[in-house]
A and B are shown apart, each in its own frame.
Chain A
Amino acid sequence: MPLEDPDSDESLMVAYVAGDRRAFERLFARIAPKIHAFFRRAFRDEMVADELMQITFLNVHRARASYRPELPLRPWLFTIAAHVRRDEWRKRYRLAEDAGEDALAAAEQSRAVAAAEQRDAAEDRAAVVRRALDSLSEIQRVILQLHRYEGMTYAEIAQTLGSTPGAVRQHAFRAYEDLRTRLGDMLRDPPAAGGPP
């Protein structure tokens, strides 16, 4: 049980809800970079990610009394972040309040940034991978971020984004296949150890 570990995210959250600022600061140090990465992956913009991270933590703070300690913390936090992300997309594309993930994906895809593919090719390996990730659709980027970098299951991601595990799995598999296609040369022809591609 996570609550038995006083250093777990859930235990820190319980202490934070009870008014322990130190617990909040420790939890913040752990979680904030993840929330920031989530937004940066979704919007590909550091300043937007900065702003949305702040909105998310203020929303978390205001909603903290509704946290249920018996549930894992991260899906709860990312659900709040996902709402902030959706509000931001709605604001940008003037979508209806009840617009779902499909409408968001369509709007975002219509503005898909080809610029990612036009940048200077002489970048390091990680930058090339990040660029390939940037070229995916927004929903694919978000799902990969939560799956690959946050270790969330498809069921947890579905709950976070208000989707179904099957749909999330489909997006993820398609995204991984897209990446394999885009990074094919790098995969088949790995560079010498330590050197750039």
Chain B
Amino acid sequence: MSAHVGHDATGLVALPELDAERVAAYAHAASCAECAALLAEAENLIALLDGAPLPAPSAQALQRTMNAVLAEFDAEDRVYAAARSRSQAPERASMRPSVRTAVTKRPPRRGLAAAAAAVVVSALFALFDTHEGQLAFSAGFNCGFKELVFAAGAVGLGFAVSKGRWGALPVAALGAWGALAGQAYLRFQCPASHDAPHVFAFHFLGVLVAAVVGLLLQPRPSASTA
């Protein structure tokens, strides 16, 4: 550094001893009395700071914190022991945190019951609102496609409402209920809406497919506690 140290004197002195900036500052000060004085003053300040560390925390505060962590240790050990006795497969100690997480924190997929309810409603709908009829194969794909469009719309709407938090979305439930709404729409639009083979093969199946695909796409809620 060929410039004067100026207001940076203390910052420079606080740098590690072999830092290039610091070394250059001292090299400059060797031929500049003003900067040498500033660096000397800065050294005094650093010594003052080093001589004024904060007081240690109280023994009670330390003990409280340690006890809190040890209590978590105890709780985890109990869960771990229970899991081990169930699985009869002792894990290596280094795997314990992940084992504990898997055992204790893995929640079920969101909205699973709601998705199942939509499938049941769809099946009841197909069972009691139809009579013998035709499969109407050629119209069936169109019906299935429309239900899946309804399902995708419901998931998209949920995604927008949740502000893009995919992980928090009950995808299976939204998909299934969206497809069920599609089935209700088809009840009035589909020419074969009272033909049992057609309704089961395409209308009901559309709801089931939406629920299953939603289930596959839906991430499990995070098990991490970090």
Question: What residues of chain A have their CB less than 8 Å away from a CB belonging to chain B?
Answer: 17-19, 21, 24-25, 28, 32-33, 36-37, 40-41, 46, 49-50, 53-54, 57-59, 61-66, 125-127, 129-130, 133, 144, 147-149, 153, 169, 172-173, 176-177, 179-180, 183, 186-188, 190
Contact = CB atoms under 8 A, between A and B. Distances in A.
B69 A187 contact: no
A175 to B, nearest CB: 8
Contacts of A62: 72, 225-226
B45 interface: yes
Nearest to A37: B54
Contacts of A130: 52, 54
A187 B45 contact: yes
Interface stretch (B4-12, B169-177, B210-218): B4-12
Interface of B: 7-11, 14, 16, 41-42, 44-46, 48-54, 56-58, 61-62, 64-66, 68-70, 72-73, 93-94, 96-98, 101, 225-226
B223 to A, nearest CB: 11
Contacts of A129: 48-49, 51-52
A148 B16 CA distance: 10
A125 B49 contact: no
A134 to B, nearest CB: 10
A172 to B, nearest CB: 6
A32 B8 contact: no
Given A18-B93, A46-B57, A147-B14, 16 more contacts: A19-B96, A24-B69, A28-B65, A40-B57, A54-B64, A61-B69, A62-B72, A62-B225, A125-B52, A130-B54, A133-B52, A169-B11, A173-B11, A177-B11, A180-B9, A187-B48
B3 to A, nearest CB: 14
Contacts of B53: 37, 149
Interface centre among B9, B49, B50, B56 (most CB of A within 10 A): B49
Contact of A50 (B14, B41, B58, B98): B58
B11 A36 contact: no
17 contacts: A18-B94, A19-B96, A33-B57, A36-B56, A50-B64, A54-B61, A54-B65, A61-B72, A62-B225, A66-B226, A125-B52, A148-B14, A148-B50, A173-B11, A176-B14, A183-B45, A183-B48
